[in-house]
Every structure is written in structure tokens, then in C-alpha cells.
Structure 1
Amino acid sequence: MFSVFRRAQGYRCYYEPLHERVAWAAEDSERLMPEQPESDRLRHPNQNRPYFQELKESWNLWKDAITPDMVYHGYFSQDSQLAGVPFYRSLLSDSGLQPVFSDCRTSGRIGTLKRDLRGVHIFLWRNPWDQWWSYQLDDYFDVANRIILHAQALPEALAQLAEQRQLITGQHDGYSELHDWYRSRPLDFCDSYTLFYMLWCLALKEGLDHADYRVNIDSLTASDADAEKIRADLVELGIAGLDFSDAHCPLATYSEQERAEFEAIEAAVHTLLTQSQWTNGELEAVLAERELHRPLRATIEAPHMTEQLLRQRDLTKRHINSRSVVCNTWAELVNEKAESIQSLEAQHTRAQQSLRQQNDELAEGGQRLILTQAALEVLADERGQSNALLEQATAQAEQLSLLSNARAQEVQALKGMYTALQASLSWRLTAPLRGLTKLAQALAGQGLAREELLRGAARNLARYPRLSRAVRRLLRLVPPVYTRVIVALDGPHEKPPEISQAGLNDRAREIHKGLAGRLGVDVEGS
């Protein structure tokens, strides 16, 4: 179909504009030119120009408008930016010929692009069996289908399928990483066709809901009449000048066993669709569209040729299954080895960190050792000084000890002399003289002898109250002597309170006078 538009007049064709290689070439337009032509390997029609020639020529228009997440992350998106609307709008700004976009990565967002960009949308499709077998020329298509599972906001049925079959295993964000991951972990026949057919159903429903026209390749190449009808329908949509005379699409012959295998997988997908958000009417509409364009597979090959083709396909499916088992086994082994390597690297990193920490601790310990040695040297100096002071103090103590011994000897000698003196005749003869001396000192108020003498006299007088009162009256006649005696006996006293008979009755005055007489106190007015 791309070749038909490209050779027609009045169109500027952009082949696969929303492609990972185009996003990769946003920084360098030369990346759009593959080193080797891919037409033969992919069985595409021969082109007189490279597929991305028009995109390379308009590179300045779109290089800043495309982002890598538009290609696969926006596969089902209703958001204009993520769905790629700014990128297509930049290509539409190229004046001149009518632009045509031939893109197989927009089958999940036809509604979003039509809503924001208008234009005429044609949905091109083919029967699922032959389309899936055409994908087996290269592992690229199976890998691309699995990368689509990383799109944002997956349809419910597709999300359930991915969870049930554990189809999402790559944990990367970039296309290159996911491509390498899934390429080394291929699916077996059942999972591969199940995922493909689910996407095929979702795409056909999107075409039924939003496309302006649908072209089935099988019907287009079935007869000249069908091709002419399609051409006429496109003319009514404003698309003229197309020539389908050389359009062709091969049809394969399938055995009953192969049909049964395909139909069993498709029945499981239909069940999953109706268990999610699809109604029975929506599923019936998709199946009716498929049945309307189901190709007539006439067996024109010789029987032995048919048998050989069937055997080759069976061998291919067995190879797909065995390759899936082997590759996934090796992938698991690689994962285990990678985890072991990561674990060893983590251990190595921890060991290096521990070694660095120990080196740091050793360095700190060395610094502390140096400081400790310096402190020990200071302590050694202080100890030397202390030892010197101790020796000096010891010498002084020895001198003091000698001096103390000498003083003790002198004291003993003095005690002996005192004892001898007391035992002498002269000491005994002078005893009365010493007594008189103490008495004189006591009478003169000197020394402790006076206090002892007064206390002794007071004790003797206390035995005789009358005599005690008489002595007190006598002492009061000489106030200085009285005061000195009282202070010596009892310590300083405050002035005794004055006792008055004012306010007392006769009996109280009599008692008061008696107490005062006993205490030796003068009573006012008595």
C-alpha cells in the first residue's frame, strides 16, 4: 500500500514515521539510513528510494517534536502528547503535496489521532493466520508485541492476558534494553500467537470504531473486481490516482490440525475479551468483519508439495517452542549468574568499604597513639619532677624526724627535771607560798584561779540560803564586785526586770513580797 501511494501523483508519503528508529534519529538524521536494504529480508516490495527518505528530508520539521515514549508507551494513549499528535502535526506543516502516513504502530490510537488531527484514516488489515506466519521471518515483531505490553493504560483484556501468561518480565524503560531482554527470552508458539491475536482483535475493533475506511489486503488481492471497488470507495473519500494492478498477497494452506490449534487459541482470547470490557455485540462485530473477508484457500499445490509445506511449518513451530525453552532456560541461568555477580560485586563493595573504614580507623588509631606517646612523655617528665620533689620532701621529713626526736628527748628531759623538781624539798617548802599567790591572784581577779575559787564558794553558800542572801546583799553594796562575781559564775546577764506591785490585790502583793524576799529582790513601794 505504501508503494501504491508513493508512485501516485500528488502525495508525500511518510513510511513508518512513528518508529523507534525515527525517534532515535531525532539527534542525527543519518541514523534513518540503514546500512543494508531490508526489503528482501522482510519481503517488502522493492523501492526506488529508502523507506525513510521523506522523513530524512523533513528532519528539521519534526526532530524536536518526537519523543521516544510516543512509539510504544503511547500505543493506546488518549493523551495528545503521548499519542504523538505534536509529531504528526509538525509533519503536516510541510506545505505542498498531500501528506500520507503509512504507520503500523497507530492501530491502538486511531481515535485519538483522528480527534486531534482530523484527516482521513484508512485501516489496513490482513487475516491473522497468514499475518502471524509472515512475522516469523524475524524475531523483531514478536519482540515489538511484547514491548507494546509496556504501554501506559493497557486495555483490560490485554493486561489480564499479560498477567495470566506472565508475559511482562522486562523491568527496563528504554526500547533498546527491552528489545535485548525479550529477544533473549522468546515466547513459544501458543503464547506468541495468543498475544498477537489479542492485539489483532483490539486493532480491528479500533478500526471499526474510528477509521473512515477499512482495506483488507486479502480482499484487495482476491480479484480485480474487489480491487476496483476499493479504488472507487477511496475516490469518494478524496483519495484518487491509486493503482492496485500489481497488488498481491500470498495465502497459505493449513491442515486440520493447524486450524484446530489456531481456533483453540482464538477461542481463549474471545473468552478473555468478553470477561473484560467487551460486550458480546462488539466481539461479534469483529468476528463478522473477519468472516466477511475470510480468504478462499484453494489447494492448488500438488499433494506432496502441500504435505512438505505443512511439515516445514510444523518443524518451524517445534523450533519456535524448543528455542523458547532453551533461550528462557539460558536467560534464567544468565539471570542467576547476573544476580551472583551482583551479589559478589556488592560483597566486594562492602569489603572495600570495610577496608577503607578499617584504614581510617587505623589512621585515627595511629594519631591517637602519637598523642598518647606525647602524653606519656609529658607524664614521664612530670613523674621525674614529682620524684625529685618526693626525694626533697623525704629528705626534709628525715630532718624533721631527727629534729622531732631531739625535741622529744628534750621534753622527756624537761619532764624528768619537773618531776625531780616536784620531789625536791624546796618545792614542798614553797607550797604555802604558791597557795597564797593563787589566792592573791583570785582576789585580784586574775586567771582561772579566781573563777575556780568563786565557783567553789558559790557551791558552799548554796547549802545555806540565808547566808547566800546575806552575801548577795553585801555584794550589792559594791556594784563592780557584784557584777564581776555574777559574770564569773553565770556569764553576762541582762538587767533583771523590775518587779512592781501595781495592779495587784492584797493577797497578790503579799505573795509577791514573799517571793521577792526569797529571791533577794527589792520590791518597789514595799
Structure 2
Amino acid sequence: MPRSSSAPIFVHSGWRCSSTYVWHRFRAVPTVTAYYEPWHEQLAGLTPERIERERPATSGLRHPSEGLPYLSEFAGLLRPDGGVHGFETRLALDEYFLPPDQEDPGHAAYVETLIEAARREGRTPVLACCRTLGRIGWLRRRFGGTHIVLIRDPVQQWRSFYSLRKRPRPTYFELCQYVILSEAAGGEAAARRLGLQAGKGDLADRIHATRKRLKRAPARMSFAAFLAVYVLSYVAALPRADLVIDVDRLGGDPEYARTMATAIEVLTGVKLDFADCRTPPPHAGRLPVDYRKEAVAMIEALDLSEVLTAPGPIQTLYRKLVRALPERETVTPWRRLLAFWRGKRLSVAEA
């Protein structure tokens, strides 16, 4: 049965994973208040002028250009001196992997502020963000609601990060992966493998220091950090999701798109239309990355081979990884990775 229309809906994803499109479809529903990136650090200093400037047409992120500014839903929640009521910069990436049983009254009060603001207008609150995959258990325990997780081919997702480079230095999306991994509980071995160290100061200082330190880091390091965060995030999120949407299929399979829309309506009572969804063309290019080598090393460093092969929702992640082989590669690297996860060795003939 559909859940109460006042129950919150959370859309969890990584960066460059079609979350803006899904948020946009929720936003188009008159009975919904859909918050865009409600854990983004820019909310700490948000002003009416900044809201007006932040538009898809000027973002450079290849988002559909029509519609209101991204952050219009926050206009009524601003403090007189700027910033969204209750938001603190630490909420953006600090404790990205927030344990479900950890108490954080300030964080909880902020989320409740958004939910209650929508409810006062008689609307369903939707919170769509790229910073909550590791926090889904914490959010579910405190706010209930429906939790939708978006997942994408990891190689194409990372290549989307990389394609936005305008100079030979990391993009914002890459820098966030470095910062998250350097501070993540459970990611210590992976961070050491890449030489990452937890920074000091506020988030802007840490991102700046990371950019300065890693401005010439090779592409393989960027991919390895991304993959570690990708795997850790989905291992945390998939078992707690009410619905997992494969965004690669959403734009290329009309029947799948209708099925996902129906599932959302059953879970939430909100009717969406994904008929205009189109899967972006693959990011090609011969980047100097040995995907197989980096993936195997990361999975080993994270000590997650048994978790990835256990029966259950984690197999969704497993299938996405196996299917993520770039066309220019042979099947051998991923067959070796598959063998690694299964705890066996391929013979010379099989390889």
C-alpha cells in the first residue's frame, strides 16, 4: 500500500549518477517539495542572490537548462545573515559514513526542519542528495520514510567526473572522493595505499589542501579513490534501500522506466513520469587506467571480497561492477576480478 503522503522520501546517490534528473521529476509534482542537495556545503552561506545565480543553464554540469534555480525550495528557510536554518558545513562530508546508532542532535534537527517546512505546506518532502549513501541507516532510523538508491556503471560514473576537467587538475567531484576516503572508518587501508591523509580545518580548507597536494595525481589514483568510496557507499546503502534504480537502464529501457515509476508510486503515493529520460552517451577515451588492477587492489585493501559475493542486495553492486568493463578492454581483467571475489584462481587457459 502507498505510504502516507507526509512521510519523507530520500533519494540517495553518488555524484554524476542522474540524481538531478530524478530530483527534477519529483520537483515537477505539485504536491511535492523537492530539496536539491540538502547536505551541500554551500547551504551554510546561502543568500537570495546566490539562489538566483545557481541555475542549470550556468552550472556547466550538463543538466537540463529549463526550470527554476536549483535551490529555490530553500528561500523560505534562510537566516537573516545568510545560510539555511540549522545547516552546518560539517554536515556536507564530515562523517559521511555516519553509524546508524550515533547521536547527532544538530544534524537531526536540521533534517526535521526541512521535513516540517514541506509538511506545513501540505506537501511531501523529498530530499535528494549525493552525500547520503553512507548515512542511509542513520536517516532511516530517525525519520523512516522511503529510501531510493540510484546506481550507475562505476567506470562511466568516474569518467563523467574526469570529463569535466578543464585543466590537468582534479575536479570538485574527484576531490570529494579523496576527502571522504581519507577520513572514512573502514577505508584506512585503501587511503594508506593511495597516500591519503586526513586533513585539518574546515571543509573548504581540506578541499583546497587536497587540490594543492594532488593536482598532478594520475588518473589511476583518481579512479582508485572513487572506486573505494563507491564500493563502501553501496555496501552501506543497498541493504537499507526500499528501491534501487539502475540509471543506466532508466534511460534506455522504457519498460524498466515504467516499472520504476510504478514502484515509486506504490511506495510513496507520488506518481512520476520517466518517459523523457535518456541515458547519456558513454564517455570514451583511452585513459591511462588499468581498471582491473586498481579494482582488485582496492577490493583487497577494503577486505570486502566476502561481503560482495554474499547473497542479498549487495549482488546488485556486484553485477554493476562486472558489467562495467569498457568496450576497448578485453573480458579478461574483469574475469580475473570475478575470480578474485569468488576466491579461486583462473587457469592459464581460462585467462
TM-score, with length taken from structure 1: 0.50
Match of 1:143 among 175, 181, 184: 175
Aligned to 1:47: 66
Q: 1:297 to 1:4 in 2, by over 3 A?
A: farther
1:155 partner SS: coil
**1:144: Cα distance to partner?**
1.4
Q: Is the 8 A contact 1:73 1:150 kept in 2?
A: no
**1:155: Cα distance to partner?**
2.6
Q: Is the 8 A contact 1:23 1:67 kept in 2?
A: yes
Match of 1:13 among 9, 34, 40: 34
Aligned to 2:207: 179
Q: Distance in 2 between matches of 1:164 and 1:209?
A: 28
Q: Once the two structures are superposed, what CA deviation does each residue of 1:391-436 show, in whole Å capped at 9, x if it has no partner?
A: xxxxxxxxxxxxxxxxxxxxxxxxxxxxxxxxxxxxxxxxxxxxxx
Aligned to 2:154: 128
Q: Once the two structures are superposed, what CA deviation does each residue of 1:39-87 show, in whole Å capped at 9, x if it has no partner?
A: 5511112231110110123325983412111111121122342783221
Greater helix proportion: 1
Q: Is the 8 A contact 2:23 2:128 kept in 1?
A: yes
**1:29: Cα distance to partner?**
4.8
Q: Distance in 2 between matches of 1:70 and 1:60?
A: 17
Match of 2:188 among 153, 159, 169: 159
Q: CA RMSD in A?
A: 3.0
Aligned to 1:73: 94
**1:194: Cα distance to partner?**
0.5
Q: 1:82 to 1:108 in 2, by over 3 A?
A: farther
Aligned to 2:126: 100
Q: Is the 8 A contact 1:9 1:241 kept in 2?
A: no
**1:287: Cα distance to partner?**
6.7
Paired amino acid for 2:179: I
The reply to whether residue 288 of structure 1 matches residue 307 of structure 2 is no
**1:282: Cα distance to partner?**
3.7
Aligned to 1:374: none
Q: Once the two structures are superposed, what CA deviation does each residue of 1:361-392 show, in whole Å capped at 9, x if it has no partner?
A: xxxxxxxxxxxxxxxxxxxxxxxxxxxxxxxx
1:121 partner SS: strand
**1:183: Cα distance to partner?**
2.1
2:104 partner SS: helix
Higher relative contact order (CA 8 A, sep 6+): 2
Q: Once the two structures are superposed, what CA deviation does each residue of 1:184-217 show, in whole Å capped at 9, x if it has no partner?
A: 3333111110110011111211221211111110
Q: 1:64 to 1:57 in 2, by over 3 A?
A: closer
Q: Once the two structures are superposed, what CA deviation does each residue of 1:132-154 show, in whole Å capped at 9, x if it has no partner?
A: 01112041101111222454xx2
Greater radius of gyration (CA):
1
**1:296: Cα distance to partner?**
9.3
Aligned to 2:235: 205
Q: Is the 8 A contact 1:172 1:178 kept in 2?
A: yes
Q: 1:297 to 1:160 in 2, by over 3 A?
A: closer
Q: Distance in 1 between matches of 2:254 and 2:24?
A: 18
Q: 1:74 to 1:281 in 2, by over 3 A?
A: closer
Q: 1:106 to 1:298 in 2, by over 3 A?
A: closer
Q: Is the 8 A contact 2:149 2:245 kept in 1?
A: yes
Q: Once the two structures are superposed, what CA deviation does each residue of 1:155-189 show, in whole Å capped at 9, x if it has no partner?
A: 32x111112221226x4311221222222333311
Q: Is the 8 A contact 1:83 1:109 kept in 2?
A: no
**1:251: Cα distance to partner?**
4.0
Q: Distance in 1 between matches of 2:325 and 2:192?
A: 36
Aligned to 1:231: 261
Q: Distance in 2 between matches of 1:298 and 1:161?
A: 23
Paired amino acid for 2:295: E
Q: Once the two structures are superposed, what CA deviation does each residue of 1:320-379 show, in whole Å capped at 9, x if it has no partner?
A: xxxxxxxxxxxxxxxxxxxxxxxxxxxxxxxxxxxxxxxxxxxxxxxxxxxxxxxxxxxx
Aligned to 2:293: 264
1:162 partner SS: helix
Q: Is the 8 A contact 2:189 2:302 kept in 1?
A: no
Q: 1:199 to 1:6 in 2, by over 3 A?
A: same
Q: Once the two structures are superposed, what CA deviation does each residue of 1:17-56 show, in whole Å capped at 9, x if it has no partner?
A: 111100233xx45444436756551111223111011012
**1:93: Cα distance to partner?**
1.2
2:134 partner SS: coil
Aligned to 2:141: 115
Q: Once the two structures are superposed, what CA deviation does each residue of 1:436-472 show, in whole Å capped at 9, x if it has no partner?
A: xxxxxxxxxxxxxxxxxxxxxxxxxxxxxxxxxxxxx
Aligned to 1:511: none
Q: Is the 8 A contact 2:247 2:279 kept in 1?
A: yes
**1:113: Cα distance to partner?**
0.7
Paired amino acid for 2:29: A
TM-score, with length taken from structure 2: 0.74
Q: Is the 8 A contact 2:149 2:243 kept in 1?
A: yes
The reply to whether residue 84 of structure 1 matches residue 78 of structure 2 is no
2:127 partner SS: strand
Q: 1:259 to 1:177 in 2, by over 3 A?
A: closer
**1:291: Cα distance to partner?**
5.4
Unaligned runs of 5+ in 2: 1-21, 166-170, 329-351
Match of 1:57 among 76, 81, 86: 76
Q: Is the 8 A contact 2:219 2:288 kept in 1?
A: no
The reply to whether residue 2 of structure 1 matches residue 2 of structure 2 is no
**1:7: Cα distance to partner?**
1.0
Unaligned runs of 5+ in 1: 300-305, 307-526
Q: Is the 8 A contact 1:74 1:82 kept in 2?
A: no
Q: Distance in 2 between matches of 1:292 and 1:150?
A: 27
Aligned to 2:332: none
2:200 partner SS: coil
1:93 partner SS: helix
The reply to whether residue 215 of structure 1 matches residue 245 of structure 2 is yes
**1:261: Cα distance to partner?**
1.6
